[in-house]
Structure 1
Amino acid sequence: MFDLFRSRERSVRYLLGALLLLVAASMVITLVPGYGTGWASPRDPSILAEVGDHRITVQEVRKVIQREMKGNVPPEMASIYVPSVVQQLVALRATALEAERLGFRVTDAELADIVKGLFPQLWAGGTFAGKEAYAQVLASQNMTIPEFEEALRTQALQARLDILALEGVIVTPQEVEEAFRRQNEAVKLMTIGVTAGVARNRVKVTDEDLAAYFEQNKASFRVPEKRSYLIFPISEEEIGASVQVPEEQLRQMYQQQQDRFRTEERVRARHILIKTIDRPASELPALEKKAQDLLKQLRSGADFAELARKNSEDPGSAAKGGDLDWITRGQTVPEFEKVAFSLKPKEISDVVKTQYGFHIIQVLEHQPARVKPFEEVRAELAAEAKRAQVYERMQNISDQIRSALVRSRDEAEKIARANGIRPVLAENIGPGDPVQEIGVNEQFSAAVKDLPVNGVTPVVQVAPNKLVVAQVVAITPA
C-alpha cells in the first residue's frame, strides 16, 4: 500500500485518496447501530456506537461533554451537540482501526514520550513524579489513566494514517518550477503619477450626476438592520456567591468515592549508580569493586548525598544527591523495586545489580497504601460539589427567567432580582457587532437572528461559566 501511495501517477493517487475516504465513511455508516434512526443500541441503551471491538457509551460521551463544556449543554442544543460528539468519537476510532489494520502500532515507549511532552511537570528534575501525581493531573480533566492513554494511542494512530495519506501527494520538479516562475515572474512598468488636485478643478459634478451615482451604488450606502436586546446574564460567579455545600453532603461524597482517594504504597529513595551499560564485560569486576568501596564509605558514616553527587552516573538524580523522590511499585525495574520496598527508613542496601548497573539504595521514607483522610481532601470535594450545584442552579434560574419572559418582562425581572441578576439593555446591535455581557458569539447570534420583537431566545451558553436569556425589544429595519 505504501508503494501505491507513493505512485507518481495522478490517477492512482486520486483513486487511492477517494478509496480512503470511502473506507472512513463506510465505517461510520456500518459501525453505528441505528444510524439514521437513533443514537442508542436497541440491545443496550448505554451503547451509542460500536467501532470494531470498541463501544462508545453514554458515559464516554458524557465525560467528553463534561471536559469540553463543563457538562453544561442546554437541553435545546443536546439534539445537535450530543450526536456531533458521537460522530467525532466514531470517526476517531474508525481511522485508528484502519491504521491498526495497516500495521501501525503505538509502543509503550512512544506513549511515554507523548505523555512526557504533554505534562513535563511530571518529570521535574528528570524523575517521574509517580502514578498518583499523574492520576491527579488527569482527574482535573475528568479522565483516568487508562482512558487518557487509550485516547492518546487512538490519536497517535489517526495522526499516522493522516501522514500516510499526505505521503500520496507527490510534487514533481516541473510543478515546482512552474510555481517558482509564477511567484517570481517580474515585469517592468512605466507609470505617470497624476494627483487628484490636477483634475479637481476640471471636473464638474451636477445634482443629476450625484443622483445617478447614488442609484447605481445604493448597496454601498445600505445601513444593516439593528436590533436591541434585554439580556439576562446568569454567571457562575454571581450564582456561586450564595451556594454553600453542607458538611454532611461532603462526608457522604467522601464515603462514596473512597477508591478515588486511595494512594499506593510508596517509598522516597535515593541511590548511587555505577553504570554498566555499554561497558565491556572485562570492566564489570572493577565497576562492582567501585560500588563496594562506596558502600564501605557509607557504612563508615560518609555523607550519602555528597558521594552521590561525586560518583553517581545517573544524570537525572546525581546533582540532587541521588534523590529519586517518591516511587511506587511498577515504576522501577524489579530488582531495584524489591530492595527499595524492603528497606526501613534510613537503611542503606547492599550493592544491587540491575540491567543499568550497580546501585546503592537508601530509603528515606516509607508510606504504606492508604486512603487520604477526609480533612485532606475536603477542599477538593467542596469545590466539586459547589461547582455542580452552581451549574444546576444556573440552569434552573435560566429556565425560570425564560419561562417568565415569554409571559411578562416584569415577572422575569422580578425573578432576576431575587437571584442577584441584573438585566442589561444592549441597543442598536448590528450583524457581527459585540454584545454587552456576551461579546461576539455565534450561538447567541443564531438564537436571535430570526426572532420578532418580544421574541425570547432559548437558554444560550456563551461561555463555560455563563448562560444568557434574551428578548428582542426593538428592530430598526435596514
Structure 2
Amino acid sequence: MLQIFRDKAQSLVIQAIVVIIALVFIFWGVGTNMNSKQEAAIIVNDEQISFQHFQRAYEQAYDTMAQRFGGRIPKELVASLNIKHQVINQLSQESLLRQGGHEMGLSVSGPEIQKEITSMPQFQSNGTFDLEKYERLLAANRLSPQKYEHSLQYDLLSNKTVSSISHFALDATDFEVEELYDMEKGTVTVSFVTISPTSFSNEIEINDEELEKWFETAGARYQSEPQVKLTYLPFSYEELGKKITIDEQAIQTYYDEHQALYKKPEQRHARHILLKAADQDSAEHHEQQRKKAEEILEKARKGEDFSSLAKEFSEGPTGPTGGDLRFFPQGQMVKPFDDAVFSMQEGEISDIVKTDFGYHIIKLEEIKPAETEALEQVEEDIASLLKREQAKPLAFQMANEAYENIIGAGSLSAFLEKSPDIKIIDTDFFSQSAPPEGMSSDPAFLQKAFALKKGELSSLIETGSGYVIISATETKAPAVPELSSVKEKATTDFKAEQMSERARRKAEELLKALSDNPDSFQSLAEAAGLELQNSGRLNKGEENKSSTFPPELVQTAFRLSSSSPLPEEAQKVGDTYYVFRFDERNQPMKPLTEEERTRYRNMLLAYKQQQIVEAWIRGQQDAARITISKSLENY
C-alpha cells in the first residue's frame, strides 16, 4: 500500500477525499429531477439528473478550472481536460452516494438540515442566524427555502455515506508511519548529465522537400482559431444600478451588520536578520548559525544600525532592503516568528527566534493599532454593492422578458424592429482568445458564444456582470494556412523538433549503456562529451536551492534505490533531457516526534479512507445502470 502511496503522493499534504461533497453556498438549482417527464441528461439507476443541473455543474467546473489559468482556459487544453466527462462522473458519483446511503438506512433529519443552515456564515448577522437574511438571500437568487433545503439534504446524505464507508479503514501501523516519515524527510543524491537540443543546432539542415512533407502532418498546429461575429443584448448590473437609489438607512444597516468587513487588525512593522538552517541540515551547521546569530545579536544590542547589520549578514530575501518586512497582521508569519513579533514593544530587539527557515533576530519598528473604518469612508462602496444586489433580480427580469419577446416575435431581427430603443452591441469577427475591447471576457459568455452556429440564438446567459442574450451573425471555421505564409516559423519549429529528437536519442542511448553497467557513468559521460554532475542532497517537498537538479524530477529520484538505480526512460524538463543514477539515500536528520507521528498517522488514515471510498464507488459504478443522454454528445 505504501508503494502506491509513494507513487501518488506529491507532497506531505495528502489530498482530501475527492468524492466528499463540499457544503458550499451556491445559489443555483442543485439536486435531481425525479419526476420530470422531460429527457434527463443522466439517469443513474432510476434517479434522473436534469439538463439544468448538468449545465450549471458544468459551468461551475469550467469557471473553477478557468480561474487557475487567469480567467480563461487555453484553447489547446479545453479538449484534454474533458470537463464534460468529469462533470458526468461527479454527478453520477453523487447520485450513487445518495442511493448507497438510502440502502444503508442513512437519512438526514430536519434538525440536521436546520443545524447546518444556521451554522452557515452566509445566513448570519453578528454571528447569529438571521431568518430574514436567509429568506432574503434565497429570494434574491430565485430559490425557495424548500428547494434549497432539499438540495442541502442531498449533500448531507452524500457526506454521511462517505463518512460511513470510510470508517472501515484500519489504523496506520507504526511501521507505515515511520516508512512514510523516512520517505518524506530523508534525502537522496543522484549523479546526472544534461543533454540540450541546442547542442545539435549545427548538425541540422532543413530542405524544402523535408519541410513540405513535415507540414502535411504538422500544418494543423498553425490553423487559425474559430471566429464569430455577434449581436448581443446586455443587461448590466452596473448600468441598472445607476438607476437605483439606496437610502441612508439601508447603508447604515449593512454597515452595522457587517462590521467585521471594516475592521482593520493591528499591524506591526518589523525587520529581521535570518541565518538559514533547515531541518535536514547537520547539527554542526545549526550550531554554527546559532553562534553567528548570537554574535550579530550582541552587535545589534550594543547600538549598531539594525538595517546595516541585516544588509551585511541576513541570508533571507529581505537582506538587501535591511531585513524590512513592512507592516503585517498577526497570523501571517510562521508561528514562532509571529509570536515573538506580537509580544514585543516598539524599538525592541528580540532574542534569537528559531523557525523552520533558521535563526532570526527581529527588531520591531512600529505598531499600527487596530481600527474600524468609519461609515463615511465606506458608504460609497456599500451603496454600490447594494445597488448591484438590487440590480440582479431586475436584470434577470428584463432579460427574461426580452428573451420571451424575441421568441414571440420569431427572430431577433423582428424583435429589434419592434424595440428600436433597446441596447444592442454588434461585433466584428473575433476569436475566443482575443475578444474585442469592452466585451465581457467571462468564460460562460465566450463558451456559449462559440458554441452557437450561424443564425442561432443563445439561451439567457448569466455572467459576472449581468445577463446577456447572444446571436451569432457570422462564423468562420478554423483554416490551415499555406506553408508560404508561415514558412519562417514552420522552419524554426521543424528544426527544433529535429534537434529535440537527436537529444532524446542520445539520452536514451546513454541510459541503455548505463543500464548495462551503472558504475560506468563517469566514463560514458566523458565519451559522450557530457559533464557528470552531482545533485547534492535532495529533499522531497522542499526547495533545493543549492542544487542544479530540476525540482520536477525530485519525485522520480526518490523512487530509485540501490537495487533499481535508473529511471525507466530519460526524463525531459523543458527542452532539456536528463539521464541520472541513484547514488545514496540518507535518513532524516531528526527523529520522528510524537506530534509528527500523530500527523503522519492521520495522513495515512485519510489516504486509506480515500482508497476505500473510491473502491466502493467503483464497485457501485460497475453494477449501476447509468444512461447518458445523446444530447450530451455534442455539449
Same fold, TM-score > 0.5, yes or no: no
TM bin, normalised by shorter chain, reads: 0.3 to 0.5
Q: Based on CA coordinates, which of the two structures has the bigger radius of gyration?
A: 1
Superposition TM-score, scaled by structure 1 size: 0.41
* Greater RCO structure (CA 8 Å; 6+ sep): 2
Superposition TM-score, scaled by structure 2 size: 0.33
